[in-house]
Amino acid sequence: MRKPLALFLVVILVFPMMIATLSVISVSAWVLDRNFYTDLLGDERLYEVLLSEDLPNYFGRRIVTEADSIPAGALSHALREIVTPEYLRGEALRIVDDVFDFIEGRNFTLDLYLDIAPLKAALRGEAGPRFSRALAEALPTCAAGQESVAPGGTIQRCRPSDVSVDEATGIINAALPLFLDKFPDRISLERNPIDMRVELRGSEFVTGFFGANGLSLAVFILAAITAAFWFTAALIGGESRRGQLLWLGWPLIVPAVLIFLIGLAINSDFSANWVRFGLNQARLEGVEYSAEFRQALLEVARGALNTISNGFLMAGGVAGAIALGLIAWGYSTPAERRYVPPMSSAPMGSPMVAPPVPQPQPPAQPPSEPPSEPSGTST
C-alpha cells in the first residue's frame, strides 16, 4: 500500500505543483525586471512607424474634436515637425518607470498618461510656423462646395483651390492658439487611476510589501509546499535510503524535461507565429494597428521571446541536473538487506513441537571403597 499511495501523491500533487513552481521561477527572472521592459520599449523602430499612421489616428480620436477633424495623412506629416521618435521613446520609458515605482511600493497611485504639454508649448513657440506650413502642404484640396473650416471648427481641414500654401499657412498659424486651447495637457491612457491605499484601505505597509516582494514571497511559499509533498511521497514510497533517493529523482525529472521543452518552443518559429496572430487580433480602442507597426512589434518581440525562453531553459536545466544527480546517487547507494531470523524445520502437516529442555544432571560421586580384585588370581 505504500508505493501506490506514494504514486498517487506524485501524480495528483507533486507533478502539477512542480510544473507550477518551475514555471513561476522561470517567469520571475524577467517579469519584474525593469531593464527588460526598458530595453524592449527603447527600440526607436517602434516610434518611427508609429508616427506614420497610428499616432495621428490616435490623436485624432482622443484630442481633436469632430469639427476640427484633420485627415490622418496631413496630420501625420505635420506632427513630424514637433513629435519625434525620441519624444515618444522618452514617454514610453517614463510610463515604464511609473509602473515599476507603483509595483515596488514607491508610489501608491498609478496614473498612466501621455504628456503633451511640451508639444503644446512647442507649437506656441518656434515650432508653430513649421507645423502650420507642413499641415498646409499636406491638406487635400477642398471638394466642390466643401468649406475649408467645418462649422464650429477652428482650423482648416482642407485647402481651397484658390488659396496658396503660403496663405493657408498664415490662416492655420493664426488659428493655432485657439486650436491648442481645446487640448488637455495630458491624454489619460486609463479610465481611472489606481490608488492602492484606497484598494487596501490605507495600509501602506501591505501595499509596499506586496508590491516589492509579492512575487518572491509567492515563489517561496509555492516551493515550500511543493517540497513538502515531494519529500512526503519519497518517504512513503521508499523503504530505504536508496528507494527514497530514487523516489526524489524520478518525479522531478519529468517536470524538468517539460519546462525545458517549453523553453525550446518559446524561442522558435511556432511561438513567433502565435505572436503574429495575437498582434493581428490586437486593437487600440477598437482600431487595429497598422501593418508596419505590427511588423515592428514582432521584430521587438523576438528579442523578448529569447529572454523568456532563457528563463525556462535555465529552470528546466537546473532541475533536470538535480534530478539526474538524485537518481545517480540512489543507484550508487547499496541496497539494505533485511535480517530474517532462522526458523526450525518440521515435516509439513506435523505440529510444531518445541525441543526438549535439557535437565541438569547431578554431579558424579567418587566410589566409597576401591573395587575388589577378581578371585582365583595367584601371584
Domain assignment present for 49? yes
Domain assignment present for 197? yes
CA 257 to CA 263: how far, in whole Å?
Answer: 10
Residue 373's pLDDT is 47
- Please state the length of the chain: 379
Domain assignment present for 71? yes
Report helix angle 15-28 to 241-266, nearest 10: 50
Domain assignment present for 230? yes
Tens of pLDDT, residue by residue, the chain (379 residues): 788 898 999 999 999 999 999 999 999 888 888 889 998 888 777 888 887 777 777 776 666 655 567 777 788 788 888 888 888 899 999 999 999 888 887 887 888 888 989 988 999 988 899 999 999 998 989 888 888 888 877 888 889 988 899 999 999 999 888 888 888 888 888 777 777 665 555 444 444 445 446 778 888 999 999 999 999 999 998 888 899 999 999 999 999 999 999 999 998 888 888 888 887 776 655 566 777 778 888 888 888 888 999 999 999 999 999 999 999 999 998 876 555 555 545 455 545 555 555 555 555 555 544 444 444 444 3
CA 253 to CA 321: how far, in whole Å?
Answer: 8
Residue 349's pLDDT is 52
Answer whether 250's CB lies under 8 Å from 327's CB: yes
- Other CB atoms within a 10 A radius of the CB of residue 166 amount to 10
What domain range is 106 assigned to?
2-116+184-332
Identify the three-state secondary structure at position 195. Answer: strand
Grid cell digits, residue 143: 471638394
List helix spans (H) across the chain. 2-9, 15-28, 34-41, 45-49, 55-62, 72-79, 85-103, 117-123, 127-138, 165-181, 196-199, 204-237, 241-266, 269-281, 291-332
Domain assignment present for 252? yes
Total structural domains in the chain? 1
Answer whether 266's CB lies under 8 Å from 308's CB: yes
Domain assignment present for 344? no
Domain assignment present for 324? yes
Domain assignment present for 104? yes
Answer whether 99's CB lies under 8 Å from 211's CB: no
Residue 187 phi, psi dihedral angles, 5° rounding: -110, 110
Residue 360's pLDDT is 54
Residue 299's pLDDT is 84
CA 77 to CA 80: how far, in whole Å?
Answer: 6
Residue 195 phi, psi dihedral angles, 5° rounding: -115, 110
